[in-house]
Amino acid sequence: MSAELEHYIPPFVITDKMIDLIAEISVWIGKISVNSNQVANPLLRRENRIKTIQASLAIENNTLTIEQVTAIINGKRILGAPEEIKEVKNAYEAYEMLLGMNPASMNDLLKAHGMMMSDLVKEAGMFRSGNVGVFDGEVVVHMAPPSRLVPELMKNLFDWYQSSKVHPLIKSGVFHYEFEFIHPFADGNGRIGRMWHTLLLSQWREILAWIPIETLVKERQVEYYKVLGIADKNADSSIFIEFMLQAILDTFREMSDSDQVDDQVSDQVKKIVTCLGKETLSAIEIMQRLGLSHRATFRKNYLNPALEAGLIERTIPEKPNSSKQKYRIKKI
């Protein structure tokens, strides 16, 4: 390794606090996996995905509200800055592909960046060609490594992650910190770094793909950047790892304090979503399973609200009234 690449993996210490946080997180994962269908519920998966997208973009100064982001994802028009609307659409597309991506693939990382930053930056889907710094006003708080070193630095980072025997909760935090230190892209490093952190976590426990961790990061945005700066200054990512572990644990605790169900979703909509599950059914089949006989009432109170909420979709969307029409849960 060349002298210029000496700052590849900074030292980090596995602290007692990390061990305690990992133990608590593991307990919460067990509780939610065994005793609850919260995260498996498609309504909650969709709600949490929308929270994740809105939070990650808000950290990057996107001003759209959770209601506006929801409307965009549901295909509705809103009043807003075109660039911000495009950011939401791009992020949704990227997160839709998340679980199909290989966290060990640099090509998949570039593909994710290409989707996330499409039509927003010139170098979407490729490592930066120029040098970049992170500024707080006019003050440089971090100068990223030269662009010519980025491909090798990223390769080394991926290789390290694959070979390291450290606990995945710690490794993913180190990866996140190192990714932000390298700053491999001209723009979009924050949102891609957080997204890839989620992907890495999901490889350990898939349930973590549906936890809106970024909502808490957004609420602690000042501290997020503060600990990144301290880790950068000390060349030691321990404090950042502890911060992310605490955010994950607090997310689980917040989930337990709420019923995690959107009050605006009617009982009828919940019933039709539960009825469909993983199946694809016709309107008649759904009505039979729900014990309903009046088609107009079914469409008014069950079917149409579920379609408008973007929770289910038609199999033949171009022909809404087709006799062969069926319905299924909309992919999240």
Contacts of 137 (CB under 8 A, 6+ apart): none
Task: Map out the domains of the chain with their CATH numbers.
Answer: 13-257 (1.10.3290.10), 267-329 (1.10.10)
pTM: 0.75
Count Cβ atoms within 10 A of the Cβ of residue 144 and give its class: 0-12 exposed, 13-18 middle, 19 or more buried: buried
Count Cβ atoms within 10 A of the Cβ of residue 191 and give its class: 0-12 exposed, 13-18 middle, 19 or more buried: buried
**Which residues, in sequence order, are bridge partners of residue 328?**
313
Per-residue pLDDT 10s for the chain (332 aa) are: 444 444 456 578 899 999 999 998 888 887 776 555 555 566 777 888 898 999 999 998 999 999 999 999 988 899 999 999 999 999 999 998 988 999 999 999 999 999 999 999 999 999 999 988 776 666 666 788 999 999 999 999 999 999 888 999 999 999 999 999 999 999 999 999 999 999 999 888 888 887 777 888 888 888 998 998 899 888 899 999 999 999 999 888 877 655 443 444 567 887 888 788 778 999 999 999 988 888 888 888 889 888 877 778 899 989 988 999 999 987 65
Q: What is the sign of the dihedral through the CA atoms of 259, 261, 262 and 266?
A: negative
Tally of CB atoms within 10 A around 269: 23
